[in-house]
A and B are shown apart, each in its own frame.
Chain A
Amino acid sequence: MIWDWDYTWDILPDLLRGLVVTVQATLVGSVVAMVLGLVFALLRRSRATPVRVVTGAVVEFIRSTPLLVQLYFLFFVLPSLGITLSGFLAGVIGLGVHYATYTSEVYRAGIEGVPRGQWEAATALNLPTSRVWRSVILPQAIPRVLPALGNYVIAMFKETPLLSAITVLEMLAVAKGLGSQTFRYLEPLTLVGLLFLLVSLPASLTVRRLERRYAR
């Protein structure tokens, strides 16, 4: 089998359109994971025991089941309950919720890394609890965990091909479609790999630089 350059140039635009979908899914999924992960982390510290227990159980359940099963559930099972989601929407919700269970652990570590003296000073100043979180704890916890969060964004990016299983035309789905039309898989699949590398490598380097900046 020899590499066909004409074919390569032909399919590149389609694959780039697929890449755009991949990046979009990653970005939206990341926002869900960042916000929901923080919510999970805070709920797991709630003073109300039932809230802590229920959140812990939900997080543990989501983390311990495969993402693909969750995606299928969202896309194929929910419609029978009257909730129909587009492939993209089901995909970003699935990715976001699944990764939120990981980011919640990251936030937890960041929050626990804030010295106890900070809480004590906030108590001595009589600051309301919500204010302590917003002004004192999170501004110290979050910068320290940005690199770890960044790593999960990259991991999520690399898992978006799973969305091809629920009809999302991200890059891998596009490549597979092209291959099945022409019976040439070498060029599309190689390009998919290269394009993933092209995005995730600079992203990893950026995260590494962030790590160095916040390492003290």
Chain B
Amino acid sequence: MHADKVAETEKLAKAIRVEPSAAREMVRFDKVVKRFGDNVVLRELDFHVRPGERITLIGPSGSGKTTILRLLMTIEKADGGKIHVDGECLTHSNRGGREVPADEKHIRTVRKKIGMVFQQFNLFPNMKVLRNVAEAPVHCLGLSRGEAEARATELLELVGLGAKLDAYPSQLSGGQQQRVAIARALAMQPKVLCLDEVTSALDPELVAEVLDVLRNIAASTDITMLCVTHEMKFARDVSDRVLMFDQGQIVEEAAPDKLFTQPEHQRTRTFLRALLEEH
């Protein structure tokens, strides 16, 4: 590695600061059920993710991969089962020795550990780039405006947008907006980062700049990543484990080299072939 590359990696590691976890499992789903009306999206799903592990979720659309991220981020509510994050239960809390559905306050404390980047970026269009990144640390981490902006500036420089602090999101390209969104998620110092098809809405030539940023983050921090993507090269480079989903269940899971070259399951083979033809 070049010296400046090493320096950059160290800077990223310092800026992002992922606290080490004592838990054996960073994320655990226990028999999680999710329905939308009559449509059962997840049927008693079990899986876990170790601290620092990078997981890629693949599968046809409607197979429930995005729903997993949204449940973890508490954007959706599970209809059954339990979700644990970093040793704490996200879906339930303990009241007088009895387990009850988690209330807003409990969810809020556990949710701090999780961050998310969306397909459509979802930046706040009424705020400049710097405030997009600094807003949550001020109100949720108790940083002063000055501290939060200093850290936001640092993060934005690391994703290559040091020159765009005073721009509005609408003045940026899709790739730039998505990099702001990544910086914004990291500013909250989550232990788990959910990436929901973060390059699907981008023009093809802008995909690389976003993936490069994510590769850097993966290489220089211990952050746990759950990634829904159709970028197979990226998945191969970054992830430790790939989970193939179909109809709300895990069909097959393996290290990327194994799963992409010698898939065991017929469903995985047809899915990967279809994906290759598309590209």
Contacts and interface: CB of A to CB of B under 8 A. Distances in A.
Interface of A: 115, 117-118, 120-121, 123-128, 131, 135-136, 139-140
Interface of A is mostly: helix
A126 B112 contact: yes
Interface string B115-143: 11010101111110000000110011000
List the 6 shortest-distance A-B pairs measured between CB atoms, nearest first. A125-B136, A121-B122, A117-B122, A124-B116, A139-B126, A126-B140
A35 B198 CA distance: 40
Nearest to B112: A126
A139 B111 CA distance: 25
Contacts of B122: 115, 117-118, 120-121
A126 B188 CA distance: 9
A128 B139 contact: yes
Nearest to A128: B139
Contacts of B247: none
Given A117-B122, A124-B116, A135-B127, 15 more contacts: A117-B120, A120-B75, A123-B111, A124-B115, A124-B118, A125-B135, A125-B136, A125-B140, A126-B112, A126-B188, A127-B135, A127-B140, A128-B139, A136-B124, A140-B126
B108 interface: yes
B127 A124 contact: no
Contacts of B136: 125-127
A131 B135 CA distance: 10
A125 B112 CA distance: 8
**Which of A118, A123, A124, A127 has the most chain B CB atoms inside 10 A of its CB?**
A124
B115 A127 contact: no
A125 B108 contact: no
Contact of A126 (B111, B120, B124): B111
Contacts of B114: 124
A117 B120 CA distance: 8
Contacts of A139: 126
B106 to A, nearest CB: 13
B58 interface: no
B139 A127 contact: yes
30 contacts: A115-B122, A117-B122, A118-B122, A118-B124, A120-B73, A120-B118, A121-B118, A121-B124, A123-B74, A123-B75, A123-B111, A124-B75, A124-B115, A124-B118, A125-B184, A125-B185, A126-B108, A126-B111, A126-B136, A126-B188, A127-B135, A127-B139, A128-B139, A128-B140, A135-B135, A136-B124, A136-B126, A139-B126, A140-B124, A140-B126
A131 B108 CA distance: 14
Nearest to B70: A120
Nearest to B119: A117
A125 B184 CA distance: 8
B124 A135 contact: yes
Contacts of A131: 139
Interface string B124-165: 111100000001100110000000000000000000000000
A139 B128 CA distance: 13
Nearest to B125: A140
Nearest to A129: B104
Contacts of B140: 125-128
Interface string B72-107: 011100000000000000000000000000000000
A69 B255 CA distance: 75
A124 to B, nearest CB: 4
Contacts of B108: 126
Nearest to A125: B136
Nearest to B141: A126
A127 B132 CA distance: 12
A132 to B, nearest CB: 10
A140 B74 CA distance: 24
